[in-house]
Amino acid sequence: MSKSEIPKNHQYTENARGTVSWRSPSNIALIKYWGKKGFQIPSNPSLSMTLSDSFTETLVKYSLTQNPGTISFDFYFEGARKPQFGQKIATFLETVSDIFPFLKNFHLEIHSRNTFPHSAGIASSASAMSALALCLRSIEQQITGIENENDEFLKKASNIARIGSGSASRSIYGGYATWGKIASWEETSDLFASTLKTNIHPVFRDLRDTILIISKNEKLVSSRAGHGLMVNHPFAEARIIQANHNLHELLEYLDSGDFAGFIKVVENEALTLHALMMASNPGFVLIQPGTLQVIEKIRDFRKQTGANVVFTLDAGPNVHLLYPKHQTKLVKDFINDELIGFCDENKFIDDKLGFGPQKLK
From CA 215, how far away is CA 114, in angstroms rounded? 19
Residue 14 phi/psi, 5-degree rounding, is -80, 165
For ligand DP6, the binding residue among 29, 157, 182, 254 (CB under 6 A) is 29
Q: By three-state DSSP, how is residue 250 classified?
A: helix
d(CA 170, CA 357): 11
Size of the site for ligand DP6 (CB under 6 A): 16
Give yes or no for a cis peptide into 282 (omega within 30° of 0): yes
The full DSSP string for 136-204 is HHHHHHHHH--PPPHHHHHHHHHHHHHHH-TTHHHHTSSSEEEES--TT-TT--SS-EEE--S---GGG
Stretch that binds ligand DP6, among 3-11, 25-33, 62-70, 338-346 (CB under 6 A): 25-33
92 sits near ligand DP6 (criterion: CB under 6 A): no
Tell me if 118 contacts ligand DP6 by CB under 6 A: no
Part of the chain binding ligand DP6 (CB under 6 A), chosen from 29-37, 211-219, 249-257, 348-356: 29-37
Residue 173 touching ligand DP6 (CB under 6 A): no
Smallest gap from Cβ 15 to ligand DP6, in A, equals 32
Q: Does 227 bind ligand DP6 (CB under 6 A)?
A: yes
| Residue closest to 259 by CA, chosen among 325, 201, 177, 321 | 201
Tell me which of 58, 124, 158, 167 binds ligand DP6, using CB under 6 A: 167
What does R_g of the chain's alpha carbons equal in angstroms? 21
Cβ burial, residue 321 (10 Å; 0-12/13-18/19+): buried
Composition of the chain by helix, strand, coil, percent to 5? 40, 25, 35
In the bound state with ligand DP6, the residue whose beta carbon lies nearer, of 129 and 294, is: 129
Contact call for residue 245 and ligand DP6 (CB under 6 A): no
Q: Compute the least distance from the CB of residue 342 to ligand DP6, in Å.
A: 21
- Contact predicate 34/222, CB 8 Å: no
Give whichever of 35 and 324 is closer to ligand DP6, judged by the CB atom: 35
Does position 361 bind ligand DP6 by CB under 6 A? no
H-only helix segments in the chain: 83-96, 124-144, 150-164, 168-171, 223-228, 236-256, 259-278, 289-305, 328-334
75 binding ligand DP6? (CB under 6 A): no
Residues 260-289 that bind ligand DP6 (CB under 6 A): 273
Which one of 16-24, 31-39, 111-119, 144-152 is the stretch in contact with ligand DP6 (CB under 6 A)? Answer: 31-39
What gap in Å lies between CA 361 and CA 359, rounded to an integer?
6
Out of 8, 224, 326, 359, the only residue in the binding site for ligand DP6 (CB under 6 A) is: 224
Instruction: Mark the segment that binds ligand DP6 (CB under 6 A) among 32-40, 190-198, 240-248, 345-353.
Output: 32-40
Question: Between residue 313 and residue 342, which ones bind ligand DP6 under the rule CB under 6 A?
Answer: 314-315
Stretch of 65-73, 82-90, 165-173, 189-197 contacting ligand DP6, by CB under 6 A: 165-173
Q: Which stretch binds ligand DP6 (CB under 6 A): 12-20, 107-115, 159-167, 277-285?
A: 159-167
Q: Check if the beta carbon of residue 346 is closer than 8 Å to that of residue 42.
A: no
Count CA within 13 A, CB hemisphere, residue 20.
Answer: 22
Residue type, 331: V
Nearest-approach distance from CB 95 to ligand DP6, in angstroms: 12
Q: Residues 54, 72, 114, 125: which binds ligand DP6 (CB under 6 A)?
A: 125
Binding site for ligand DP6 (CB under 6 A): 29, 32-34, 46, 123, 125, 165-167, 223-224, 227, 273, 314-315
